[in-house]
Amino acid sequence: MRTYFSDLPKTALGASYWLFAVYLVLPLALMMAMSFKDANFIAFPIGNWTLDWYGKVLHDKQFLAASLYSIGIALATTICATIIGVWIALLVSAENIWGKSAIFALACLPAVVPGLINAISMRIFIRAVDIPTGTFAIILSHTVHAVPFVVIMVLTRLRSMPANLVDAARDLGADPFVAFLRVTIPYLMPALLGGMIFCVLTSIDDFVRTFFLGGYQPTLPMLIFAKVQGGMSPEINAMATIVLVVTTAVGLYAEYLTRRSRS
Amino acid sequence: MQPVVHFKNVNKLYGELPAVENLDLAIEPGQFVTLLGPSGCGKSTTLRMLGGFEDLTSGEIYLDGKPISHLPPHKRNVNIVFQDYALFPHLTVRRNIAFGLELKGMASGAIHKRVTELLSLVALQDYAERMPAQLSGGQRQRVALMRALAPDPNVLLLDEPLSALDAKLRQQMQIELKTIQQRTGKTFIFVTHDQEEALTMSDVIVVMNKGRIEQIGKPSELYARPHSRFVADFIGQSNLLECTIVSVAGTVGTFDWRGNVVHADVIGSTAMPGAHATLALRPETLYCLTAKPEGRLALKGRIVHRVFKGAHTSITVALENGTSLVVQLDPVALSHIEGDAVWVGWRERDAVLLAS
C-alpha cells in the first residue's frame, strides 16, 4: 500500500494523460463512426452501417475538384517555400553575414503572426499591387507561412553538418555548386523531406488565408465549410475521414523516411 | 631536384594576429614531411593554405614550380585527409572513394577498377558497400586516406588524422601510413602535435612555434641536436642547464653552471666567453653512480623522486647546487631508491649548446 501511495503523483499523471488522450481521440472516432451510418442525419445509435457515403464522396465532382485544387496549391507552395527556406537557411548559417539575426527573425516572423493578420495584410497588399484574388494570391500567402518551418528544420540540420564535408568535396575537385548538390543537399534530405511534408499539410489545412485571398474556386477546407453551412450530413464525415486518413498516412510516412535516413 | 611544394615568404594574418610568419619551406618529392608543433603554432593554417582553404596575406606557394595561391581548392592537385575524416555519410565506402574520380570524368569501369585496387591496398575489399557509419574508427581512417589518394594527387596532406584513434590503433596506423607512403612514393605532408608520431613516421620534421619554423631536420638530428630551447623541450624530454661560458678551446667549451665546471661541444656556435648559454641534456644520456668516479664529471646529489615506467625508470636527482636533473635509467641495472646519495654526470659530447 505504501508504494501505491508514494506513487500517487505518478498515477495521477498517468491517469490525466489518458483522459487527455480520450479527449483527443473521441471526437475523431465519433466523426469516423458517423461516416458509416446508413441515415441522413448524425445521431446515435448508428443502427445500420454503410459505405455509401464514401461512394458518394468519391463520385462527387466538387469534392474531387476541390481536392485537386488544394493539392496543386500545396505542391506549388511547397516548391516555393523549400527553395526560399533553404536559401535563407544557407544565408543565416554562413559565417560572416551582416544582419544575420535580423534575416532569421524576419523569415520566422510569419510562424508567430496570427493567420488572420497575415491574411488581412496579404489582402491589402495584393490590392495595392493589383494582384487578383485567387490561386496566385493563395500560394503567396501559404508560402510566407510555410517558409519559417523549412528554415528552422534545415538550419537545425545544417548546424549539425561537419564543416569539413563541403571542404572535402571541394578538395576532391567539386566546385561550390557541385559540392552543394552532391554533399549538402543529400545531407539535408531528412530535414528537407520533413519540411516539405509540413508545407503540404499546413497548406492543405489552411482556411483563414484561403478564405481572405481565394477566388471563386473552393479549396477543400472551403468546400467542407460551405457544405457544413448547408447542414451536417454523414457525407461530410466521410470527406473529413478521407482527409484525416490520407494526411495521417503522409505524416507517418514522412516520419518513417526521416528516421530511416537519419540512422 | 625541384621541390614539389615551395612556400616562399608566406604570411598569414588573422586580423592583426600573425598565424604564419615569413614561412620559407621547400619540400622534396617523395618525402614524408611532418609539420610538428603545439596547437596554435600555424601548422594547420599552413596545410589549409596549401589545400586552398585559407587565403595568404602575402607570399606565394608553388606546386611543381607553378604558383597556386590564386587557385580555388578544387583546381589544386593536392588532397587532404581531414582530422575527423569527413567521409560523406550518405555514400558507401566505394562511392566515397570514387567521388574524386567521378569529378575527374573517369569512365565508370576504370573507376571501379581503381577503387577496388585501393581498397585492397588497405584490406577493405569486403567493406566496399558499407556506409561510413558502419565502420570502425580505423577503417574510416583508411577509407579517408584512400579517398584522398584516389585522384592521384601530387601531394597528400594529412591534418592530424590519427588524433581520434586510441593509442594502440594509432601506433598501428603510423606504421601503415608510412608503408603506404613508401609504396605509393607520394609526398605526404603530415600535421601533428604529437612528437612521437612525428619521430616514428617522418623523413623530415618541420618544428613550428608561434607561426615560425623553429628547426627543420631528420628525426634523429632534431632529437640529438636541437637548436633551440623550444625544440629541446618539445621533442622528447630535456634537462636545460643555464650556464655562463668560461672559455672555448677548439670544439670544446667550458661552462660555469652554478659553481660547477662542465664541458660541451660548441661546434657551429659563435658564443663568446662571458655570454649566457643554455645546455640541453637528454635524461637517457646521463649516468648515475653510487660512488664518485675518477676522471669523469660527477655532481653530487640525492634522489628525490623515482618513477617506474616499464621499459625504464626515471629518477629526479636534487643536486647540491640547488637544481635538479632528470635521469633515465635501465630499471634492472640500478635500483636506487628515494633518499640515496648519488653522483650524476654526462659525457661532454652529449651536452648540446642551444642557440636560443
Tell me the pLDDT tens digit for each residue of A224-238.
888 888 877 788 888
Dihedral of the alpha carbons of A7, A9, A10, A14, in degrees to the nearest 10: 130
> What's the domain count of chain B?
2
Looking at every residue in chain B, the average pLDDT score rounds to 89
Specify whether B179 is located in the same domain as B297. Answer: no
pLDDT-derived band at B258, boundaries 50, 70, 90? confident
Specify whether B36 is located in the same domain as B136. Answer: yes
Chain B residues within an 8 Å CB radius of A183: 88
| For chain A, domain boundaries | 2-34, 53-262
Q: Which of B25-34, B207-216, B326-335 has the lowest mean pLDDT?
A: B326-335
Question: Per-residue pLDDT averaged across B129-138, rounded?
Answer: 91
Convert the pLDDT of each residue in B4-35 to its tens digit. Answer: 999 999 999 988 888 999 999 999 999 999 99
Q: Which of B212, B232, B252 is the last residue of a domain?
A: B232
pLDDT of residue B281 exceeding 60, the answer is yes
B interface mutation test: which of A161, A170, A172, A181 has the most B CBs within 10 A? A172
Eight-class DSSP state of B166: -
Specify whether B183 is located in the same domain as B43. Answer: yes
Specify whether B79 is located in the same domain as B171. Answer: yes
**Model pLDDT, residue B209:** 92
Please, which residues have CB within 8 angstroms of residue A140's CB and are 6 or more apart in sequence? Answer: A122, A126, A131, A213
Chain A residues within an 8 Å CB radius of B89: 187
Convert the pLDDT of each residue in B54-108 to its tens digit. Answer: 999 999 999 998 999 899 999 999 999 998 889 999 999 999 999 999 998 889 9
Q: Which of A103-117, A172-186, B130-144 has the lowest mean pLDDT?
A: A103-117
Specify whether B209 is located in the same domain as B180. Answer: yes
Closest Cα in chain B to A175: B74
Q: Do A167 and B86 touch (CB under 8 A)?
A: yes
Specify whether B213 is located in the same domain as B247. Answer: no
Domain with B343, as residue range(s), is: 237-354
Convert the pLDDT of each residue in B150-199 to its tens digit. Answer: 999 989 999 998 888 888 888 888 999 999 999 989 999 999 999 989 99
CATH value at residue B169: 3.40.50.300
Q: What is the pTM for the complete model shown? A: 0.80
pLDDT of residue B215 exceeding 90, the answer is yes
Closest Cα in chain A to B88: A165
Please, which residues have CB within 8 angstroms of residue B227's CB and are 6 or more apart in sequence? Answer: B214, B215, B354, B355, B356
Dihedral of the alpha carbons of A127, A132, A136, A137, in degrees to the nearest 10: 30
Convert the pLDDT of each residue in A134-161 to its tens digit. Answer: 899 999 999 999 999 999 999 989 988 8
Chain A residues within an 8 Å CB radius of B79: 171-172
**Model pLDDT, residue A50:** 80
Nearest-Cα distance to chain A for B170, in Å, is: 22
Q: B84 in contact with A at a CB cutoff of 8 Å? A: yes
Q: Which of B217, B232, B247 is the last residue of a domain?
A: B232
Question: Per-residue pLDDT averaged across B218-245, rounded?
Answer: 90
Specify whether B135 is located in the same domain as B246. Answer: no
Q: B104 in contact with A at a CB cutoff of 8 Å? A: yes
Amino acid at B259: G
C-alpha to C-alpha distance for B35 and B170, rounded to whole angstroms: 18
Which of helix, strand or coil describes residue A102? helix
pLDDT-derived band at B332, boundaries 50, 70, 90? low
Specify whether B287 is located in the same domain as B274. Answer: yes
Q: To which residue does cell 619554423 refer?
A: B213
Specify whether B117 is located in the same domain as B265. Answer: no
Question: Per-residue pLDDT averaged across A110-130, rounded?
Answer: 89
Q: Which of B180, B215, B232 is the last residue of a domain?
A: B232
> Do A93 and A158 form a contact (C-beta atoms < 8 A)?
yes
**Model pLDDT, residue A6:** 64
pLDDT of residue A3 exceeding 60, the answer is no
Question: Per-residue pLDDT averaged across A81-100, rounded?
Answer: 86
Specify whether B111 is located in the same domain as B155. Answer: yes
Q: Is the dihedral of CA A209, A210, A212, A213 positive or negative?
A: positive
Please, which residues have CB within 8 angstroms of residue B172's CB and are 6 or more apart in sequence? Answer: B138
CA angle, residues B12, B17, B20, in degrees to nearest 5: 30
Q: B103 in contact with A at a CB cutoff of 8 Å? A: yes
**Model pLDDT, residue A97:** 75
**Model pLDDT, residue B164:** 81
Decide if the complex's ipTM is over 0.90.
no
Convert the pLDDT of each residue in A26-45 to its tens digit. Answer: 988 888 888 887 777 676 77
C-alpha to C-alpha distance for A143 and A136, rounded to whole angstroms: 11
Of B74, B90, B104, Cβ closest to residue A186: B90
pLDDT-derived band at A19, boundaries 50, 70, 90? very high
Of B83, B88, B103, Cβ closest to residue A165: B88
> Do B344 and B317 form a contact (C-beta atoms < 8 A)?
yes
Going from the C-alpha of A249 to that of each of A27, A63, A243, the distances in angstroms are: 19, 20, 10
Class of domain A53-262: mainly alpha
Of B80, B86, B103, Cβ closest to residue A178: B103
C-alpha to C-alpha distance for A238 and A52, rounded to whole angstroms: 10
Residues paired with B14 in a beta bridge:
B17
Q: How far apart are the first and last CA of chain B?
A: 32
- Of the candidates B136, B130, B93, B133, which has an alpha carbon nearest to the alpha carbon of residue B115? B93
pLDDT of residue A261 exceeding 90, the answer is no
Which of helix, strand or coil describes residue A205? helix
Specify whether B115 is located in the same domain as B189. Answer: yes
